[in-house]
Every structure is written in structure tokens, then in C-alpha cells.
Amino acid sequence: MRMWPRNLNSLRITGIVLIMLAATIGAGSVWIWMHSHVAWQNHLQRAFNSGLRLSDMLRQQASPPSDLVITQLKPNDILIANKGKFGLLTDQSATPYVTVFSLKASGPKLRTQETLSLAIVSSDLQYPVREIAKTKDGSAAVALGDVTRLLASYCSDPILFARYQDGYWYKIDGSNVWGCDAAPTDRRPHAVLLVLLGLGFLVLRLQDVAANFSAYAARLGAQRRSDINETSPVEGPLELLEIATQVEAYRERERDALEKRAMVLSAVSHDLGTPATRAQLRIALIEDEELREKLERDIDQMTHMIDSILNYTRSELSAERPRRLSLRALISAIVDDYQDLGHPVTLAGEPPVKIKMQHSVFDRNPRSRAFNMDGLHQVIVTARPLALRRAATNLIENALKYGRRAHVTLEANATQAHLTIADQGGRIDPELIAKLTTPFSRGENSKANPGFGLGLTIVDTIAAQHEGAVTFEQGAQGLEVRFTIQR
């Protein structure tokens, strides 16, 4: 499902839009955060101002604040308050938390020391009154304002009891000032959620773009095993579509060049057929047998060289369509062909598969049973059969030329198939053999054998077309060549 409008599906436009979106989300989150912070500070300041007005009322210097419900205690309740049992003076059913303390204020502007007795009754918590800082002027009004601001800092509905000097006790209900319902809604979690949602959208969008590039890269890698003419639509930003268009055009040009090269080589091979035939007929008239044999070998070498180059070009084209096949059946048929001609080529058998069966409740014998299933299981791969036949044949031919014998082993796992050809050519440096995969490279021991240095090159090309590789190792009696392809 498309997450982005098609007309905005460009990395340039997408980048600009995402930057603007990120800036908008950031500014909106900061505004929400600051607005919530200012509202909270106003809430605390309002509670502080109520404390100042409450202090003036206790001094009998002002009327009671309108946002507080203040009740003077009755004589019986005063006796209970003097005993410090303020929990009995509230309607709370659970055992309340009672915080009793006194505020003493003095200073150069005060003639006498002021004492403010306070008690906080809450069903939720014990208030940390020690955190209240004394003001510089030491007034009781500021200290009481700090107390009411402290009450407003927590989500609770406490009852405050206050007495100035030796005056009357008052019960103050400030739910409208410092209660939970009076506190403004904290919007800061909304700001954090907005930032997280914005970041999530940006990450998803970036992952979507990266996934398009990764999918296209995987498609290019998979096309080495699929039909080279196969094309499929590419989804993603406009820049990726432009890249895909240029890559497809480049691949078409390369394919056309390879096809023209193969066509030219085929034409040359065909055109050389008639002169080569005439030359062979004329050479047959030469009476000198030694000279006649040398000329015939030269003509055969020229024609074989052109055929080898033509085979290498065809392997680069990889025009053969892949299909599912049994690799074991293909290798077994190749080995049988060599054995029919009397060549020392063998195929290693696979050990029988041991299957263990657990007993069921209906078995008379409760012991588990096991049996061996003989025979070779099939190795099913998706590959080009003619190309694999050419690669296996080249490896077996090299083993027979330089190692006298060819022992073929086929192994497979869930993702790969491994074809190993071992010879008896003695000890040889595997790194030196690995360098012979370049075109027209031959080893020092190959001078006595005909060839043009394209056999291993063709094998390496076919392995790369199947997302595999060719490796060389020193075996027990000679060289071991490991041909690996993806299943």
C-alpha cells in the first residue's frame, strides 16, 4: 500500500516536506509543553496568592478568600485540635495522614515573633513540609503561601487547619485551589506523544525509501539466476526509477554487445569452415607426413580456439532460461557418459538415510524402531541445465587431463549445492590454480595438453550466474575443485 502521494514521490520533495513536517511537529510540541508549563506555574502561583490572603485573614486584617471554604472550629473541636487529633475532625473514612507543624516568623519589620500553627490532614500522603524554604523577610504570610503552593503541587484533596498565635482554630477546605480538580491538565505527555508519532512517521518513511532501494538491489542480484530479459516494475522515488531506467538501458547495451560479439564469432567460425576444409584437402596431398600432421594440428587448433571463445561468449550471455531440475540426475548422467567411454570418472555414493520412528500407544513393543532408507535423494535446484553440464564437463576434463582420474561428490544443504571434483595429480598450489580463472591463463604443466585457458573462466562465469563460486583446495591425492551454486 502506497504511503506517499505519487506527485510527491521524489527524494528532493520528500526531504523538504519531511523537514517542514519535523519543524512543525517540533514547534507544536514545544508550544504544548510550554503552554502546559505556564498553566502549571499559574496554578502554583494562584495557590501561593491564596496562602497570602489566608494569612491576612488569620490576622483579622482582611476578609476570607472567596476561593477557600473557611470554618471556625467549635469549642469541642478546639479541644480535639489542641490535643493534635486532627484526623477526628474530618469526614475521611480511612486512617488519614496528619502533618502537624508550626511556622515562626521574625524580622526587622515585625515587632513581635509570629507563630502560625498548621495541620494538614490527607488520605493520600504525608507532605514534606521541611522542603518549605524560609523567605528573606521572614514573614508568616510568605511561609503560609509556600505551604499552600506545596499542597497544590500534589494530586490530593487535603484539609488544612490553621491558627495564628493563640487565636482560634480554622478549618480550611481549598479543593478549588489545591485539589486535583483545580490543577490544569498536564499536556506534556501529549507533546511527547506527538514527537514520538512524528518520529515514527519519519522512520517509517525513511525505511520505506530504503526498502525500495534494497528491493531493487536484491532484484538485480536475483536476475543473475533468472532470465536476463525479465523486467518488472520498480516502485520507489523518482530518483530510483531514473536509476533503474539507466541500469536497464546499460544492461541492454551490454547484452546487445555480447550478442553482436557472439554473432560475429559464429559468422567467423562458419566462414572459416569452408577455407579450413579446403586447406585440409590440400594438406592431404602433401607427401611429407610430418609436415602434413603439423599443418592439420594448426588448423584444428585455430578452429578449436574460435569454438572456445564462442562458448565463453555464450556463457556470458546466459540466454538459457533457468528451470527446476535434479542436479544429481544431471551429474549422474554426465558421469555415466564418461564411464561408457572408458574414462576413470566415479560418482561418490551417499550414505543411507537413517529414519528413527517413535512407538505409539498401539504398538506391542514399546521400544523405538529405526530403519535405513537406501538410495540417493534428489538435489532439486533452479538453474540452467546446459550451463551446468558445460561447467561439470570442463571440471571433469581438467581432472582427467592433469590428474589422471576424476572423483565427483555432490552435497547439498537447504540453500546451496556443492559439486566437488577431486583428481590424483599430486600436490599443487590452490592459489596458483585460482589465478587461472582469468581468460587465456594456463598453468606451467599445461603445455603438453591442448587448450586455450578458457575452461575455468567459463566455470567461474557459470558459478557467478548461479550466485555461487569456485574454490580450490589441496586434497589427499591431488586438487579438489568445489563448484557451489544457490538452490
What homologous superfamily does CATH list for 322-350+374-486? Histidine kinase-like ATPase, C-terminal domain (3.30.565.10)
The pLDDT, as a whole number, for residue 177 is 93
Binned at pLDDT 50, 70 and 90, residue 31 comes out as very high
As a whole number of angstroms, the distance between CA 33 and CA 193 comes to: 11
- How far is CA 244 from each of CA 6, 13, 235, 473, rounded to the nearest angstrom? 17, 19, 10, 40
The pLDDT, as a whole number, for residue 374 is 47
Mean of pLDDT values over 460-469: 84
- How far is CA 366 from each of CA 153, 354, 356, 370, 372, rounded to the nearest angstrom? 74, 20, 14, 13, 20
The 10s digit of each residue's pLDDT in 341-381 is: 889 999 887 655 555 556 555 555 555 555 554 445 678 88
Q: CA 427, 428, 431, 433: dihedral to nearest 10 degrees?
A: -140
Mean of pLDDT values over 319-345: 88
- What number of other Cβ atoms are within 10 A of residue 367's Cβ? 8
Residue 250: pLDDT over 80: yes
The pLDDT, as a whole number, for residue 7 is 54
As a whole number of angstroms, the distance between CA 378 and CA 433 comes to: 31
As a whole number of angstroms, the distance between CA 119 and CA 160 comes to: 6
The pLDDT, as a whole number, for residue 359 is 58
Residue 188: pLDDT over 80: yes
| Greater pLDDT, 231 or 173 | 173
Contacts of 222 (CB under 8 A, 6+ apart): none
- Tell me which amino acid residue 180 is: C
Mean pLDDT of the chain: 80
Q: What percent of the chain has pLDDT over 70?
A: 75
Q: Which of 163-167, 183-187, 285-289, 469-473 has the lowest mean pLDDT?
A: 285-289
As a whole number of angstroms, the distance between CA 416 and CA 471 comes to: 14
- What number of other Cβ atoms are within 10 A of residue 22's Cβ? 15
Q: Which of 20-29, 45-54, 234-243, 314-323 has the lowest mean pLDDT?
A: 314-323
| Greater pLDDT, 321 or 428 | 321
The 10s digit of each residue's pLDDT in 218-244 is: 887 766 555 555 566 778 888 888 888
The 10s digit of each residue's pLDDT in 104-134 is: 766 555 556 778 899 999 988 888 887 674 5
The closest of 28, 5, 31, 35 to 198, measured between CA atoms, is 28
Q: What percent of the chain has pLDDT over 90?
A: 22
The pLDDT, as a whole number, for residue 13 is 86
| Greater pLDDT, 245 or 440 | 245
Mean of pLDDT values over 175-204: 91
The pLDDT, as a whole number, for residue 42 is 95
Most confident of 165-169, 260-264, 283-287: 165-169
The pLDDT, as a whole number, for residue 111 is 55
Q: Which of 56-60, 389-393, 481-485 has the lowest mean pLDDT?
A: 56-60
Mean of pLDDT values over 73-97: 84
Tell me which long-range contacts 129-137 makes (C-beta under 8 A, separation of at least 24).
129/99, 129/101, 137/107, 137/109
Mean of pLDDT values over 140-166: 89
Mean of pLDDT values over 57-66: 83
Q: Which helix (H) or strand (E) holds 355?
A: strand 353-357
Asked if residues 104 and 117 have their Cβ atoms less than 8 Å apart, the reply is no
Q: Where are the domains of the chain?
A: 59-178, 223-295, 322-350+374-486
As a whole number of angstroms, the distance between CA 287 and CA 290 comes to: 9
Residue 32: pLDDT over 90: yes
Q: Which residues partner with 12 through β-bridges?
A: none
List phi, psi (to 5°) of 231: -130, 145
The closest of 43, 394, 308 to 187, measured between CA atoms, is 43
Mean of pLDDT values over 406-431: 84
Binned at pLDDT 50, 70 and 90, residue 212 comes out as confident
Residue 141: pLDDT over 90: no
Asked if residues 402 and 445 have their Cβ atoms less than 8 Å apart, the reply is yes
The pLDDT, as a whole number, for residue 438 is 64
Asked if residues 472 and 430 have their Cβ atoms less than 8 Å apart, the reply is yes
